[in-house]
Chain A
Amino acid sequence: MIGFVLRRFLESIPVLLTVITVAFFLVRLAPGGPFDTEKRASPQVLKQLQAQYRLDQPLYRQYFDYLGGVLHGDFGPSFRKPGRTVSEWIALRFPVSLELGAYALLVALAAGMAAGLVAALRPNSALDHGTMSLAMLGICLPGFVLGPLLVLVFALWLGWLPVAGWSTPLHKILPSITLGAAYAAYIARLTRGGMLEVLAQDFIRTARAKGLSETRVVLRHALRGGVQPVVAFLGPAAAGLFTGSFVVETIFQVPGLGREFVESAFNRDYTMVIGSVLVYAVLVVALNLASDIALALLDPRVRAQ
């Protein structure tokens, strides 16, 4: 196991390096630069700005300078918002996305697993069809529709919750639900599928035959196998959740990192693009690894592979 983790750890180095490299050149390949604005700055000003941020250097030079900086933990200044460095911006905004992602994950797991379990225990009942239809609705209802609808009902119509912002616990309810809903729907379907597979197997029959209570059978024996698909799904999904969502953060005015992914790309804020992409890449690698380890712990046969 330790060897496996160590190997994956070493494998992640070329992965991250490739991500940095491709992002570095890709974002510079896109037309327009960070200092193009509606009112055009004079050529002299543009030249000064580019010199200041070393954008006038040959590309390979910029690349190795940047890599050198990254090795020392320096991701450079933000071109668009010069008052803070990329590291400072990420330190400021990533925790917010992480928090929102954690709540959303909680919502998704709680609602999704409960719905999936209920549906799996009574397959093809009205309850099963009902919860699965609800799950399908969650998949059909994108965040940009669900978010405003929730705000209208719970904030403007009923007046129970705030419209937007991220200061009190009350502010965090609607964004968490909006972000978690689609994932809850996926988890519900995956849980149901996984549980149905497991419940049809011999060892469950044996357990029932032994006279164990149904709750005990389900929770102690079946769940262990039934959640495996969910665990496998959670790797990339959690990476997406923790790095925030452009849509949800915009609708609810959440000061997280998710908006930075899209906005920095639009602004050609080169350093910011690579910085935020790198955060995401680290999470993808780490969480995929975590999900693989969890799978191995849940099922010795996968570990043997």
Chain B
Amino acid sequence: MRFIVIMALALCFATGCSWRDGGALPGSVIRVGNGAEPQELDPHQVSGTTEHRILTSLFEGLADIDPTTLKPVSATAESWDISPDGRVYTFHIRPTARWSNGDPVTARDFAYAWRRILSPKLGSEYAYLLHCIRGARDFNDGKTTDFSTVGVRVVDERTLELTLESPTPYLLAMQTHFAWFPVHQATIEKFGAIDERGTPWTRAGNLVGNGAFTLAEWQPNDVLRVRRNPHYWNTAKVRLDGIEYYPIDNQQTEERSFRAGNLDLTASVPLHKIPIYRKEHPKLIRISPYMGVYFYRINATRPPFTDPRVRKALAMALNRDEIAHNVMKAGERPATSFVPPDTGGYTSRAAVTYNPEAARALLAEAGFPGGQGMGPVEILYNSSDAHRTIAETVQRMWRDNLGIDARLLNQDWKVYLTALNTLDYAVARSAWIADVADPVNFLECFQTGVGNNRTGWSSPQYDALIRASYLETDNAKRLDVLQQAEAMLLDGGPIIPIYYYSWTFLQSPAVQGLVTNPLGYIRWTDMWVDRGTGAKP
């Protein structure tokens, strides 16, 4: 009986899985699979892409970026001036900018928001993105309680002056990050103190934002609906009437919902479905480079990995092409560097490549010919089928190429993080998704003692290079300094790059105007849905 059902199913899908059109929706509403339930809608208390996708519709920063060119464009600020030394930014706020309740958006609102996110008591995880503002770090660390020491000055209602610690070439691009978004003071304070966590100001009916959309309904774990904000300064150009976010965390469920025509966009695609879609419905699947890297960390404090030759040998013994093309099969690019190519105009000149002979020679030189005397190497990963599959492949490659006996160690997410934080591992699966399209956001992780280092690796020379890059005003020279740093990192550093992430999602034919980019940034105001021309594949 069961056999028959499965065989029938197999037949059905062998003849091609069909995609169904969802039918008409009122107005122009797009239905988006959003990966998970947002933790919060307070831009100062969230930390993920899930929340980012929602918050970019509810709020707007001073500047936006063009999703095609990735260049900053005007948003709530209509223009800005930058001082010649690149340390003082003066923003001119658009006179027509309005909150969703009709109040004007002023320079004061931004200053208030930044004071709020930097308030130590709020404990915002992304407050560090504002540490480029002069004095912001001290205020955030509680060394001073006087916000006037921070380089934020309200010149008048429409003029905001920002003084930075050092020239930060990506400051404008960073304005699309929710950490920089303004919040409505009267609303925040109606429901609690400026630095109080978890007040109900973000619920539907309470939330006041300045984005193109406003919160209509929030049914946790079910659906979150936003609708057009009539007070938005550019609302005439907005073509979507609303967005429905579905927090479907199971990839299989999301894909099935998409196939049934209930979703227009998905957050991801199940690994094994990607080749099928690429082959049979190439118009429905979109794969583009993404600004993140999947890599293995090596604990540089644990022998024998204290020896850079051992670390380098491990890195050189991996056939990344095979992992990317035969195991992942999802359009990922094999990673030969830590910073993905073309990040903020930077592509690493240094590379680690697959060279099993050289890897064996290095390992022998380090005193472990043919893996003799190495003992078992544990690969730590957090419970996930994809991580397990990759680890199984790495295990095999190390055994075949180096004679090393690798063991897989699967841990619950928080146990895994604790092991990483306390350096209680040998080799650990890791990932880094950049917050900002700049190589420094990747490379600064591996400075000595930085929280995200998590390898125990320490190089004074590397630290000096990163510090030098902060102070360099000439961007070309700055990138050159970072090239040197990355070359150090790749030559026996504590990491093994494996592949660069892809932004992979399903998109129904009705969706128009979505431009992919390495930031994974969706600009809702550019988009519309056209159910009429949604031709079946």
Q: Is A255 a contact partner of B259 (Cβ separation < 8 A)? A: no
The segment from A9-17, A45-53, A58-66, A116-124 that touches chain B is A45-53
Task: Tell me the smallest distance from the CB of B26 to a CB of chain A, in Å.
Answer: 15
Measured CB to CB, the nearest residue on chain A to B219 is: A255
Knowing A156-B259, A156-B260 touch, does A83 contact B47 (C-beta < 8 A)?
no
Complex Cα spacing A81 to B202, Å:
12
Measured CB to CB, the nearest residue on chain B to A157 is: B12
Complex Cα spacing A268 to B416, Å:
13
The segment from B124-132, B175-183, B370-378 that touches chain A is B124-132
**A residues 32-68 with Cβ under 8 Å of B?**
32-33, 35-46, 48-49, 52
Q: Is B9 a contact partner of A163 (Cβ separation < 8 A)? A: no
A contact residues around B121 at 8 Å (CB): 48, 52
Complex Cα spacing A252 to B253, Å:
7
B contact residues around A89 at 8 Å (CB): 220
The segment from B35-43, B279-287, B393-401, B528-536 that touches chain A is B35-43
B contact residues around A26 at 8 Å (CB): none
Q: Mark A154-176, 1 if CB is under 8 A from B, else 0.
A: 01110100111111000000000
Knowing A41-B451, A45-B125, A255-B222 touch, does A82 contact B39 (C-beta < 8 A)?
yes
Measured CB to CB, the nearest residue on chain A to B140 is: A44
Q: Is A40 a contact partner of B421 (Cβ separation < 8 A)? A: yes
Complex Cα spacing A83 to B2, Å:
45
Residue A31 lies at the interface, judged by CB distance under 8 Å to chain B: yes
Task: Tell me the smallest distance from the CB of A157 to a CB of chain B, in Å.
Answer: 6
Q: Is A32 a contact partner of B417 (Cβ separation < 8 A)? A: yes
Knowing A83-B41, A164-B256, A266-B414 touch, does A152 contact B221 (C-beta < 8 A)?
no
Task: Tell me the smallest distance from the CB of B399 to a CB of chain A, in Å.
Answer: 29
Complex Cα spacing A157 to B256, Å:
11
Knowing A36-B421, A42-B451, A157-B9 touch, does A92 contact B123 (C-beta < 8 A)?
no
A contact residues around B170 at 8 Å (CB): none
Complex Cα spacing A159 to B20, Å:
9
Q: Is A83 a contact partner of B203 (Cβ separation < 8 A)? A: yes
Task: Tell me the smallest distance from the CB of A278 to a CB of chain B, in Å.
Answer: 20
The segment from B91-99, B244-252, B331-339, B359-367 that touches chain A is B244-252
B contact residues around A151 at 8 Å (CB): 256
Measured CB to CB, the nearest residue on chain B to A36 is: B417
Complex Cα spacing A30 to B419, Å:
12
In-complex Cβ contact of A38 among B39, B222, B260, B431 (8 A): B431
In-complex Cβ contact of A255 among B9, B142, B221 (8 A): B221
Complex Cα spacing A149 to B198, Å:
40
User: Count of chain B residues with Cβ under 8 Å from any Cβ of A?
Assistant: 58
Complex Cα spacing A35 to B417, Å:
11
Complex Cα spacing A153 to B39, Å:
34
Complex Cα spacing A162 to B256, Å:
10
In-complex Cβ contact of A253 among B1, B198, B248 (8 A): B248
Knowing A92-B220, A163-B256 touch, does A153 contact B5 (C-beta < 8 A)?
yes
Complex Cα spacing A156 to B417, Å:
39
B contact residues around A40 at 8 Å (CB): 421, 451-452, 454
Q: Is B197 a contact partner of A52 (Cβ separation < 8 A)? A: yes
Residue B262 lies at the interface, judged by CB distance under 8 Å to chain A: yes
Q: Is A37 a contact partner of B248 (Cβ separation < 8 A)? A: no
Complex Cα spacing A49 to B39, Å:
15
Measured CB to CB, the nearest residue on chain B to A260 is: B221
Q: Is B1 a contact partner of A137 (Cβ separation < 8 A)? A: yes
Q: Is A253 a contact partner of B253 (Cβ separation < 8 A)? A: yes
Q: Is B40 a contact partner of A81 (Cβ separation < 8 A)? A: yes
Residue A275 lies at the interface, judged by CB distance under 8 Å to chain B: no
Residue A251 lies at the interface, judged by CB distance under 8 Å to chain B: yes
Residue A192 lies at the interface, judged by CB distance under 8 Å to chain B: no
Knowing A37-B47, A45-B123, A45-B127 touch, does A165 contact B222 (C-beta < 8 A)?
yes
Complex Cα spacing A155 to B256, Å:
9
Complex Cα spacing A251 to B254, Å:
9
**A residues 142-198 with Cβ under 8 Å of B?**
148-149, 151-153, 155-157, 159, 162-167
Q: Is B125 a contact partner of A39 (Cβ separation < 8 A)? A: yes
Q: Can you list 6 A-B contacts with CB-CB less than 8 angstroms, sorted by A residue number? A: A32-B412, A40-B454, A44-B140, A83-B203, A159-B20, A163-B260
Binding site for A on B (CB under 8 A): 1-2, 5-6, 9, 12, 17, 20, 37, 39-42, 45, 47, 120-125, 127-128, 140-142, 197-198, 200, 202-203, 219-222, 246, 248-250, 252-253, 256-257, 259-260, 262, 412-415, 417-419, 421, 431, 451-452, 454
Binding site for B on A (CB under 8 A): 30-33, 35-46, 48-49, 52, 77, 80-84, 89, 92-93, 137, 141, 148-149, 151-153, 155-157, 159, 162-167, 250-253, 255, 259, 266-268
Sample of 20 further A-B pairs with CB below 8 A, known A32-B412, A37-B125? A36-B418, A39-B47, A41-B123, A44-B142, A45-B120, A83-B39, A84-B198, A84-B220, A137-B1, A151-B256, A157-B9, A159-B260, A163-B259, A163-B262, A165-B222, A167-B222, A251-B250, A253-B250, A255-B221, A266-B412
